[in-house]
Amino acid sequence: MPPSVDYSVYLVTDSTPAILGPGRTVVDVVGAALAEPEKKHVGIVQLREKDTDARTMLENLKALHAFTAPAGAPLVVNDRVDVAVVAMARGHCEGVHLGQDDIDVATARKLLGAEAIIGVSASTIDEAVTACRDGADYLGLGSVFPTTTKTNAKHLVGTPGIQRMLQAMVEAGFGHIPTVCIGGIQTSNARRVLFQSGYRPVAASAETTAPPAKELDGVAVVSAIMAAADPGAAAAALAEQVRLSKTQGPTDFYRALPPCSVQARSAQASPASVQRILQALHETTPLSHNMTNLVVQNIAANVALAVGASPIMANSGDEAADLARLPGSSLVINMGSATPEGIANYSKAIAAYNAAGRPIIFDPVGAGATATRRAAVRAIMASGYLDVIKGNEGEIQTVYLSGLCDEDRARETAEAGPLQQQRGVDGGNALDAAARRRLVSRLAAREKCVVVLTGAIDYVSDSRGVRVAEVADGHPILGEVTGTGCCLGTVLSATVAAAANLRRADKEGNTGDGEQGAEEIDTFTAVLAGMALYERAAARAAVMPSVSGPGTFVPAFLDELSRCRRAAAANDMSWLA
C-alpha cells in the first residue's frame, strides 16, 4: 500500500523561464513553498520536466527530496517510469504520474512495486474509470480552465466535467480513489472550483436513498505557486482556500448543506418570508450594481428605486472591486455586450464580487442566438460562481448544454429533441412543463446555484436542484415593454442582497424584533420573494383603470412595485393575496 497522502494542495513543477521567473530554479521555488515543513501547506509534489535528460532529473529529485521528505510530502515524477525506478531505489522519490500516452499503470506498478504512488491524468469519463480500474492511486482531472502552462492541454472540462468524472467514478465503484483537479487553478478560484465540482446527488424519490457523494480532495497547480513571487505565501493561501471550500461555499450565501435524501417536489415562499425580505430591502437599501445594455438602463434603474434598492449602472469591470466592497451590494450581469471587452469586464466584476462574498445574478440574454454569445456564456461561467442564473427557455437550455461533456451532450440532445437555434432574445417554446422542471433542477444541481426559467409559468430551482417552485403570476403586457425581463434580474439582485443583510443581522443578533430563529432566509427564498413582488405588481398594474396599453403600463407598474414594497415594510401583505 502506498502511503496516505494529503492531496489538498498538489504542487506540479515547471522549469520554463516564463513561469519560474529570472534567477530562480525549481529547487529554489519548491524549497520556498515547503519552507515551513511543519505547516504542511503542500501535501505532494510532482517533478514535471518535458525536455530534461534522465541524469539531471535524478539530481533534481534528490535535491527536491531534501525539502519534501521533512514536510511529509511525497515526491513523484511526471511521465518517466524509468527515472522513477532509479530514484525510488535511491530513496529520492515515491512514485510516478502518468498521462494517457505514457506507460500503462499495470506495467508501471510491476516495475515500481506496491508501495509506489501511481497517479494518472484523465480528461474524460472513460479515462477516469479506466485509470481506476487499472489501479491508479489518485487521479488528476482536467483541464478545468484554459491554461498557458500546459501547451498540449486537450480537453477543457470546466467544473461540470469534473463533476461528471466524479459521478462516473462513484458509479463504477471507485468513489474511494482520491482526485485533484488541474488547469487554471489559482487562489482566487480554488474555493469555488472545489465547491462546484463536487458530485452531490439527491435521491430520486422519498423511497430511495441517494448514491454516495464525492468531492475533489484538492487542487493541483503549477503557476499559482511556481510563478508566485512568494511561493510559501502562495501555498499557504491556497491551502486556506481549500480548507474553506470544505466548510463553506464560495460566497457568504452558500453554506455547506446537509445531505438531502428526500426530494420536495414543490416549494413556495411563505408570505411571512416574502414580507421579511421586502422589509429588509426597504430598510437596508442594498446597492444593485447593473452591468447592462443601454436600452435597459433607464427602466432598470427606475425599477431598482421602486423596489427600494439603490441602483448604479456601471459597465466597467475596474469599478466593480470598489462597488463589491460596499455593504449589501449585489451585481446583475445582463449579457448585453458579448464582445471581448465586455466579457473581460464581466470577468473582472465576477472575480471582485466572488472575492467580497457578494451575490451575482446572471442574465444570459440571447445566449443561444449566436456562436459569439454561446462562447460568452462559457467565458462568464468559467469566471466564477454565479448565485442566480435567470433566463427564458432558450437561454437556460444554452447555459445547460454549454457545460455538458461531449458524451452527455449527445445523449441529452437526443433526449430533449433537436435544439432549436434561438431567434433574437425571444426564448424557445419547445419544452413541456416536466422538461422545464428537469432543466432548471439539473442546471441548478450542477452549478450549485438558484436557477430561474421564465415564461408564462416560471420555474425556480433551489441550489441543490431539489426544491422547484412554479410561479404563475405576472401579465402578458410585460412582454410588450422593452427591458421588463432584464428588470426582473435587478429586482432579484435587490431581494437576494436584502436576504443576505437579514441573515447578517440575525447572526449579529440585532434585529430587535424578536425574529431570531425564524425561517431560514436563503437565496432561493429571496428569489421567490422578488418574483412574487415583481409579478404581482405587474398583474395589479395591468388592470388599473389608467392603463390602456404598454405606454401607460410602465408608470403604473413602477407605482405598484413601490406601493407593494412599502406595504410589505408596513406589515401589510394584503397585496399578495
CB of 166 to Mg ion, least distance (A): 22
Q: Which is nearer to ligand 3NM, 158 or 465 (CB)?
A: 158
Contact criterion met (CB below 8 Å) for 448 and 196 = yes
Q: Which stretch binds ligand 3NM (CB under 6 A): 28-36, 219-227, 255-263, 430-438?
A: 219-227
| 143 upstream amide cis, omega within 30 of 0 | yes
Terminal Cα-to-Cα distance of the chain (whole angstroms): 65
Stretch that binds ligand 3NM, among 148-156, 206-214, 297-305, 522-530 (CB under 6 A): 148-156
C-alpha 30/C-alpha 12 separation (Å) is 9
**Closest CB 480 distance from ligand 3NM, rounded Å:** 48
In order, the DSSP letters of 82-113 are HHHHHHHHTTS--EEEE-TTSS-HHHHHHHH-
436 binds, among Mg ion, ligand 3NM, none (CB under 5 to 8 A by kind): none
Least distance CB 219 / ligand 3NM (angstroms): 8
Catalytic-labelled residue, pool 93, 181, 405, 486: 486
Nearer to ligand 3NM, 147 or 525 (CB): 147
Using the minimum distance from each CB to Mg ion, give the nearer residue, 100 or 420.
100
Pick from 42, 84, 162, 222 the residue near ligand 3NM by CB under 6 A.
Answer: 222
Q: Is 30 in the site for ligand 3NM (CB under 6 A)?
A: no
CB of 492 to ligand 3NM, least distance (A): 34
| Residue carrying C-alpha cell 518535458 | 50
Applying CB under 6 A, which of residues 43, 95, 142, 158 lies at the interface with ligand 3NM? 142
Nearer Cβ to ligand 3NM (184/308): 184
Q: Report the C-alpha dihedral over residues 527, 528, 530, 536, rounded to 10 degrees.
A: 160
Shortest Å, Cβ 271 to ligand 3NM: 49
Query: CB atoms < 10 A from the CB of 89, how many?
Result: 10
Closer to ligand 3NM by Cβ: residue 17 or 479: 17
Among 12, 61, 399, 425, binds ligand 3NM (CB under 6 A): 12
C-alpha to C-alpha distance for 80 and 91, rounded to whole angstroms: 16
- With binding defined as CB under 6 A, does residue 184 bind ligand 3NM? yes
Q: Where does residue 180 fall: left (phi above 0), alpha (psi -120 to 50 degrees), or beta otherwise?
A: beta
79 binding partner (options Mg ion, ligand 3NM, none; Cβ < 5 to 8 Å by kind)? Mg ion
CB of 150 or CB of 276, closer to ligand 3NM:
150
Residue of 13, 149, 284, 293 that binds ligand 3NM (CB under 6 A): 149
The DSSP call for residue 176 is T
**What whole-number distance in Å separates Cα of residue 489 and Cα of residue 306?**
14
Contact, 12 vs 182, CB < 8 A? yes
Minimal distance, residue 481 CB to ligand 3NM, in Å: 46
CB atoms within 10 A of CB 105: 21
SS3 543: coil
Verify binding: residue 183, ligand 3NM, rule CB under 6 A.
yes
Identify the residue among 29, 169, 185, 306 touching ligand 3NM (CB under 6 A).
185
Strands, sheet with 458-461, edge to edge from the N-terminal-most edge strand: 310-313, 287-291, 330-334, 360-363, 388-391, 450-453, 458-461, 468-471
By CB under 6 A, tell whether 181 contacts ligand 3NM.
no
Residue 308 in contact with ligand 3NM, rule: CB under 6 A? no
Pick one of 223, 245, 392, 525: the residue that binds ligand 3NM (CB under 6 A).
223
Collapsed DSSP state (helix, strand, coil) of residue 28: helix
Q: What residue has cell string 442566480?
A: 388
Tell me: does residue 108 bind ligand 3NM (CB under 6 A).
Answer: no
* Bridge pairing between strands 388-391 and 360-363: parallel
Answer yes or no: 486 catalytic.
Answer: yes
Per CB under 6 A, the list member of 41, 65, 150, 503 interacting with ligand 3NM is 150
For Mg ion, which is the closer residue by CB, 98 or 144?
Answer: 98
Does residue 464 contact residue 257 with C-beta atoms inside 8 Å?
Answer: yes
User: Which residues of the chain form contacts with Mg ion (CB under 5 A)?
Assistant: 79, 99, 102
Judged by CB under 6 A, the residue of 13, 147, 275, 302 near ligand 3NM is 147
Integer Cα distance of 56 and 52 in angstroms = 7
Grid cell digits, residue 548 = 390602456
Residue 153 makes contact with ligand 3NM by CB under 6 A: yes
Residue where the block lists cell 474555493: 191
Q: What letter does residue 141 receive in the DSSP assignment?
A: E
Residues that bind ligand 3NM (CB under 6 A): 12, 121, 140, 142-143, 147, 149-150, 153, 182-185, 221-224
Q: Which residues are catalytic?
A: 486
